[in-house]
Amino acid sequence: MAQSGQPTMGQSLLFLTDEQVRIGIEAMFFAYRGFTADPDRILATKAYGRAHHRAVHFIHRSPGTTVNNLLAILGVTKQSLNRVLRSLIADGLVSSTVGKADKRERHLHLTDAGAALERELSDAQRDRMRSAYRAAGPEAVAGFREVLEAMMDEEMRHHYRAMKDRPE
């Protein structure tokens, strides 16, 4: 379909061919493996998995967030998240406090131990991302983020932008 070779406008559309798009798909597949490899290695030595990493990451980013909000960001069922949260709470990495205004809600925070785990996992992942950034350079990074953002579902893009503009 997009296989045409004649740029009729002032700009070539060759980067939209099936071939080029396919390369992007495979790049995504292989890169995501690298993206998760380092934290996964650390998690394997503890009794946790990737789901715990995600929960800890976003609780760190949004302290006091509710279970429902976390659900929307992670895009899993509440039962699935609950299992993860339960073990993190039992192990003293996350605290859950009943909401003051709305007692149905639980507000989630990292404990000191939870913050330590978050840092350990994030450091490993950040190191790889940073070295990829460095290898590719600032302009490539800008393009990287543009394409990723365009690849998201509308709802995820909303969460992404909200988090992006919040200070660390």
Residue 30 tokens, joined: 């292989």
Q: CB neighbours of 114 closer than 8 A, spacing ≥ 6?
A: 56, 59, 60, 88, 92, 93, 94
128 binds a second copy (CB under 8 A): yes
85 binds DNA (CB under 7 A): yes
Residue 4's binding partner out of a second copy, DNA, none, with CB under 5 to 8 Å set by partner kind: none
Residue 51's binding partner out of DNA, a second copy, none, with CB under 5 to 8 Å set by partner kind: DNA
Residue 6 tokens, joined: 């004649």
Give the orientation angle of helix 50-61 with respect to helix 78-90, to 10 degrees. Answer: 80
Where does this chain bind a second copy (CB under 8 A)? 1-3, 11-12, 15-16, 18-35, 37, 54, 61, 75, 122, 125-126, 128-153, 156-157, 159-160, 163-164, 167-168
Where does this chain bind DNA (CB under 7 A)? 47-52, 54, 66-68, 71, 75-86, 96, 99, 101-106
